[in-house]
Amino acid sequence: MSRAPRRGHVTLIPLIAATYFMVSGGPFGLEDLIAETGYARAVVILLVTPVVWSLPTAMAVGELAAAFPEEGGYYVWVRRALGGFWGVQEAWLSLAASFFDLAIYPTLFTRYLAHLWAPAAIPAVSVAIGVGLIAAATAVNLWGARATADASVLLGVALLAPFVALTLAAWIGPIHDPVRGSMPTRGTLTAGLAIAMWNYMGWDNASTIAGEVKDPGRTYPRTMLVTVALVALTYVVPVLAVAHSGLTPSAWTDGTWARAGEKLGGPHLARAIAVAGMVSSGGMLIALVMSYSRLPLVLAEDGYLPRWLGKTSERTGAPWVALIVCGVLYAACLGLGFKRLVQLDVVIYGGSLALEFVALAVLRVKEPEVARPFRVPGGLAGAIAVGVVPMGLLVASLAFGEKDEGALPLMGVVTGVVAVGCGIYGLRAWRGGARRS
């Protein structure tokens, strides 16, 4: 059963901007990758990863979102293909990954704010600012998907303008400290894998608002392909520019983009990049809160979560109860370490992504009559093969992640998340079953 579209119509350019923030948010977050692998390897990773990780995912999302443009996105696809149990696991894994994912961006926000206001580096102040940022992102989303997507266009311009200036300054200005080779001093290609995958993941997040997108059959495939190219371009070009300027890879730490701006363009450019870092984190938080808040909404509508989570604003259509509850849970995850948050996010998200690739192939067989304005090429074999390499990368990332034990044991948390997902479905089934499977 299809859901009626909600209020508001998100068009192509705003959806591209929102998807860009859901996936990327600019070059911020690449610092550890450069320090771990060096410039040459980092560029190779940043060029290869979108081909073997992002493009297959984007094509799968383009086909499924165009063929089944319903609110809830990937939850709907997996439920139609594999049934209610797996649909619930898909939604829950994505939602659980968001708890760790969205705790990252307030942390990044305060790191760049600290370049302008030193007290932001104090842990207690940082957490308080993070809570305030989550509250602000939630408030913006109460205006609805259309307003949020439109805001992403303006934020995208504000984010990328300083990097255009940085790139020009790096190529036009003198080489200050020539790089003596681009080999890393403390890392390997494998060390940067999880970081690169995190910087290139989230393509399916735009699908959860499909009921609010205008002409989704044409809009989603175009959005996916354009945004893949845009993300890769805005990663590789600034990295090459700073490499040309002579900044050594070993100098890269949190906040290096701002320091590179000061070196190449003076204090005004440094401040502009620091502000861009804050815009990046805020824009990603706003776009992702929009995406993930639709999951409790559709689960509540289908009877798997309490019905009060499905309440929406009569004026904007925004799921205001789900937004507030998610905001509280995101705030509770603040303070965890960056690398562990990334590892948890990648692995849990990878489980939901695997189900989406399975759904792509199963729906080709189960519902061949459904119109597909865009198709993954190669017939059924292509639909099956498109997920092989991304899942191989996920397994490699998991194998690496287990070598780095942090405050949270990786597989222990993943096991707990899976158990909760099974419990959500089992509890509803025990009460008499969901309204539809």
| pLDDT tens by residue, 351-403 | 899 999 999 999 999 999 999 999 999 999 999 999 998 888 877 766 665 45
Mean pLDDT in the chain? 86
CA distances from 154 to 7, 13, 17, 25 (A): 22, 11, 9, 13
CA distances from 41 to 48, 251, 257 (A): 10, 16, 19
Q: How far from chain centre, in Å, is Cα 192?
A: 17
Domain span including residue 194: 12-430
Note whether residue 435 is domain-resident: no
List, as one string, the DSSP characters of 326-374: HHHHHHHTTTS-HHHHHHHHHHHHHHHHHHHHHHHHHHHHH-TTS--SS
| CB neighbourhood size of 276 (10 A) | 27
CA distances from 165 to 114, 227, 239 (A): 22, 21, 13
3-class SS at 6?
A: coil
Are 280 and 23 a contacting pair, CB within 8 Å? Answer: no
| CB neighbourhood size of 358 (10 A) | 18
Note whether residue 1 is domain-resident: no
In this model, does residue 406 exceed pLDDT 60?
Answer: no
pLDDT tens digits, one per residue of 52-102: 889 999 999 999 999 999 989 999 999 999 999 999 999 999 999 888 888
Q: What is the pLDDT of residue 58?
A: 94
Note whether residue 436 is domain-resident: no
Q: Is the pTM of this model over 0.85?
A: yes
Best-predicted range by mean pLDDT among 172-176, 187-191, 218-222?
218-222
The mean-pLDDT minimum among 44-53, 55-64, 112-121 falls in: 112-121
Note whether residue 131 is domain-resident: yes
- The residue to which tokens 């639709």 are assigned: 294
Phi, psi dihedral angles at 305 (to 5 degrees): -125, 165
Note whether residue 399 is domain-resident: yes
Note whether residue 304 is domain-resident: yes
Note whether residue 437 is domain-resident: no
Q: What is the pLDDT of residue 1?
A: 47
Note whether residue 347 is domain-resident: yes
- Domains contained in the chain, number: 1
What CATH number does residue 147 fall under?
1.20.1740.10
